[in-house]
Structure formats: structure tokens, C-alpha cells
Amino acid sequence: MTFVQVIDFKTSRADELNRLMDTWVAQTEGKRTATHSVVGRDRSDSTHIVEIVEFPSYEDAERNARLPETDRIFREMAALCDDVPRFTDLDVVRDEQLNKAAVRRFFEDAVNRADLDLLDELCTGDYAEHDPSSSVDPADLASAKTDATKYIRAFGPTFLVEDQLAEGDLVTTRFTAIGTHTDDFMGLPATGRPVRIAGQVTHRFRDGRIAESWWNWDQLGLLAQIGLVEL
């Protein structure tokens, strides 16, 4: 279970505190178990600093705390504070990354179910798609839907989401698409051959909707599997 530690500081020496954090990051490389750290300053009180540190588990946080570098840096940080730092330990019971969920809907509800009208809800009106296999770059939403229809009609693909990473307004997804060549594609009549391709796409979000995407997938592999090219 993911574990989060929230540390409240009161200090007028925030710059020195920040430098100490940089020192800890450098000195614990290859040893620390913390996976994510966010430091924020209270808008209504510039002496109030909050650090949020994420760990894979409580046990990993305990291991991190036992590092000699952690103990030494913490004592130096405490000396910079106007009061004793306060710790809040949290077991994460819900972690919902909304942009990642929207991308899953893109694949599972719009593409896999051939409900491309759902893209009007998921994407912005000025959506832009970048795909090396397309003759248009960037393609607008209408063009992207037309292009997707061509693949859906020819292969009836199912996209499997393998991994997702999210940072800021970006979500990157590694996927596998499987299907069968059951209709004309690029002038080639249906062969009945199964196809399987791998790829990844990065989506950029604006106001909760997909505004832009960059696709990279094995188009050459697809053409080879249906006999249009030889590898």
C-alpha cells in the first residue's frame, strides 16, 4: 500500500532548507526509497512550508528514515526551523489520476467499442494529433476520427493498456493492439490474418480534456503481418 508522509515546517530560512533538501537528494542516490517529493509554501504564510513525500509502502518509509544521511539532514533542517517539524503519516486509500482515467476511456470506450463520437466529449475542439503514419500533421479531430475509422473497419482492433505514466498535463501510455484483417486496407482485400502491434502515445490535457497527442507505433510491422511488405 502506498504511503505518504506530510511534514510541516515553520521557518524564515526557506532557501537554506531547500539547499539541504538538494543535499539529501544527492547523498541518498541509489539508497533512498522515496519515489516522489513535493514542497509547497503557504500563500497566506510564507514561513509555513509543507513537504509531501511518497513511498511504495510504510516499510519503505521506515528504511528511508534509517539512512544515516536522512537522520543527519533532518537534524540540520530542524535547526533551521522556528518550531519542531510536524509529521503526518498517511496510508493512501484512494489514488485516482483523472487524466490517466480519461486516456483509458479513450482506448477502452471510444476505440475498442468503435464509439468515436465519444471523442467529442474527451477531446478539445481544437484537438491536434501527430502521427508519422498520417499524411496530415497535425490532424484535427475530424480527420483523426476519419483515420481511426479506417483502421477500425479493417482490423476491429482491441487496445490493451500495458503501462501509463502521468506528469503535469501529460499522460504517456504504452499499448498493444490486436485484431484481424477482415476488410480492405490500403487496397489489399481482407486476408483474415491476425495482427498484433505495439506502440506508445503521449496525450496532453487542457481543462480535463485531451488537447493534443503524439503517436509512435509499429506501422511497418502491421504492413508486414498482412503481407503488404516484406521484412
Task: Give tens-digit pLDDT for 98-107.
Answer: 899 999 999 9
Residue 121: its pLDDT value, please?
A: 94
Question: Does residue 96 register a pLDDT over 80?
Answer: no
Whether the pLDDT of residue 59 is over 90: the answer is yes
pLDDT at 127 over 90: yes
* pLDDT score at 186: 87
CB neighbours (10 Å) of residue 122? 18
Predicted confidence (pLDDT) per residue in 27-36, tens digit:
998 889 999 8
Q: Tell me, what's the pLDDT at 34?
A: 92
112, 152 in Cβ contact below 8 A? no
Positions of CATH 3.30.70.100 in the chain: 3-91
pLDDT digits (tens, 9 = 90+) for 131-156: 988 878 899 999 999 999 999 999 99
- In the chain, the amino acid numbered 211 is A
Contact (Cβ atoms closer than 8 angstroms) between residue 181 and residue 150 = no
In angstroms, the CA 125 to CA 61 distance is: 44
Better-predicted residue by pLDDT, 210 or 21: 210
Q: Does the pLDDT at position 231 exceed 80?
A: no
Q: Which helix (H) or strand (E) holds 137?
A: none
88 pLDDT exceeds 80? Answer: yes
φ, ψ of residue 230 to 5 degrees: the values are -115, 140
Q: Given a cut of 80, is residue 130 above it in pLDDT?
A: yes
Calculate the average pLDDT of the chain: 92
Average pLDDT over residues 52-71: 92
What is 173-211 written as a DSSP string? EEEEEEEE--S-BTTBPP---EEEEEEEEEEEEETTEEE
Query: What DSSP designation does 52 have?
Result: E
What is the CATH number that goes with domain 3-91?
Answer: 3.30.70.100
Instruction: Quickly state the pLDDT bin for 17 (edges 50, 70, 90).
Output: confident
Mean predicted confidence (pLDDT) in 200-216? 96
DSSP tag of 139:
B
pLDDT cut 70: percent of the chain above it: 100
What percentage of the chain carries pLDDT values higher than 90? 74
Q: Where in the chain is the domain with CATH 3.10.450.50?
A: 98-225
pTM: 0.77
Provide the CATH number for the domain formed by 98-225 in this structure. Answer: 3.10.450.50
